[in-house]
Amino acid sequence: MSAVAVEEVTKQWGETRAVDGVSFTAAAGSLVVLLGPSGCGKSTTLRLIAGLEAASAGRIRIAGRDVTHLPPARRGIAMVFQSYALFPHLTVAENILFGLRVRKVPAAERRRRLAKVAGLLGLERLLERKPAQLSGGQQQRVALGRAIIAEAPVCLMDEPLSNLDAQLRHEMRREIRALQQKLGMTMLYVTHDQSEAMSMADQVILLRGGRIEQDAAPAALYDRPATAFAARFIGTPPMNILRSADAGVLLGIRPEDIVLAERGDVAARIGAIEYLGADSTVTCMLGGETVLARVQGRVGLPAGAAVRLSWPRERVHLFDAATGRRLDDTMSPPPAAAQELGERVAAAAGG
């Protein structure tokens, strides 16, 4: 039985459909990331599951129970908000204990759970402080503490790390993942940061315009993106999408699959080189199109130099130009033999 099941859920505000017939399930004990660009309906989906918004249509089940019309407190969820939503006048301890006090958990039990949570999150020495006396990362931990002390089976998080600096975000990412696995929680995690999604998730649900673009494990999302949009959303720099000779087909090649070589299939010219330390992003002009290539270390060539590009045939993705959908899933055999692909690109690029 899945911990959370969303069935054909729609949320409408007047004319706008923030969430449009979304269905997915989250397995118990898994970390599911809702990913997508700004305004795609991630927060709304999460808030529908939390019960902070009422669904216009569809059903939501948590642990097999239909909770569509239940208030948040009776859904068996905990939530971490983007702004943390700590009570500014209460101490860290009181913030964490807020829910237990509401539910009149006995004092001894409260103390035991507070000690456990504080230990887990390293908050022991901050318990008497007010939120204003904490750093952003510490506030984040308190919000996390308030969520996990409830011991709710499902934890919802809306961009919990977006207010932290890059370094801390990295640390907290690992910490949250470790905590989730240690406590065996089911976690629904909203982010617009694809690297956060890829590194933390068991399952990624990519949203676009209120609909699910793809629902898959991170590796599957990367290896077999279901649409051109998914292909470009995952990975940095994003996948190159090129027109092909066959007007109905788009070709996708990841920058990291492209090799700059003396002897390659396609002639190109270097436009710009962005050195990033471990690797460099090379912008190549391929006739009228721009292709990004990611190569290791430094590139010893000047801008404007002629290079040849090549890539493994099996790393080429094909998409329907009209719908954006992946082609080799829907058509078999593939529309073009692998050997032809290089020539197709070359022909399309005119070079």
Ligand X SMILES: Nc1ncnc2c1ncn2[C@@H]1O[C@H](COP(=O)(O)OP(=O)(O)OP(=O)(O)O)[C@@H](O)[C@H]1O
How far apart CA 95 and CA 231 sit, in angstroms, is 42
Question: Which of 3, 6, 9, 18: binder of ligand X (CB under 6 A)?
Answer: 18
Told to check if 192 binds ligand X by CB under 6 A, we report yes
Q: Which is nearer to ligand X, 83 or 133 (CB)?
A: 83
In the chain, the largest separation of any two C-alpha atoms, in whole Å, equals 76
| One-character DSSP codes across 286-348 | ETTEEEEEEEES-----TT-EEEEE--GGG-EEEETTT-BBSTTTSSS-SS-HHHHHHHHHHH
The least distance separating another protein from the CB of residue 311, rounded to whole angstroms, comes to 47
Question: Which of 26, 33, 41, 121: binder of ligand X (CB under 6 A)?
Answer: 41
Told to check if 99 binds another protein by CB under 8 A, we report yes
Question: Which of 32, 35, 50, 117: binder of another protein (CB under 8 A)?
Answer: 50
Q: Which is nearer to another protein, 141 or 317 (CB)?
A: 141
Query: What separation in angstroms does the CA of 237 have from each of 28, 154, 267, 282, 302?
Result: 33, 34, 21, 10, 21
Q: Which is nearer to ligand X, 39 or 76 (CB)?
A: 39
Told to check if 38 binds ligand X by CB under 6 A, we report yes
Please choose which of another protein, Mg ion, ligand X, none residue 78 contacts, taking the beta carbon within 5 to 8 angstroms, the exact cut-off set by kind: another protein
H-only helix segments in the chain: 42-50, 92-102, 107-121, 136-148, 166-183, 194-200, 218-223, 228-233, 338-349
Q: Coil, strand or helix: which one is 195? A: helix
How far apart CA 307 and CA 330 sit, in angstroms, is 35
- From first CA to last CA, the distance across the chain in angstroms is 55
Contacts with another protein, 139-178, as mask; x by CB under 8 A: -------x---x----------------------------
Contact 225, 326 (CB under 8 A): yes
Question: Which of 44, 95, 139, 214: binder of ligand X (CB under 6 A)?
Answer: 44
Please choose which of ligand X, another protein, Mg ion, none residue 13 contacts, taking the beta carbon within 5 to 8 angstroms, the exact cut-off set by kind: ligand X
**Beta pairing class for 154-158 and 77-80:** parallel
Q: Which is nearer to ligand X, 50 or 134 (CB)?
A: 50
Told to check if 89 binds another protein by CB under 8 A, we report yes
Q: Which is nearer to Mg ion, 158 or 202 (CB)?
A: 158
- Binding stretches for ligand X (CB under 6 A): 13, 16, 18, 36, 38-44, 192
- Binding stretches for another protein (CB under 8 A): 50, 52, 71-74, 77-79, 81, 83, 85, 87-90, 98-99, 101-103, 130, 132, 146, 150
- Binding stretches for Mg ion (CB under 5 A): 43
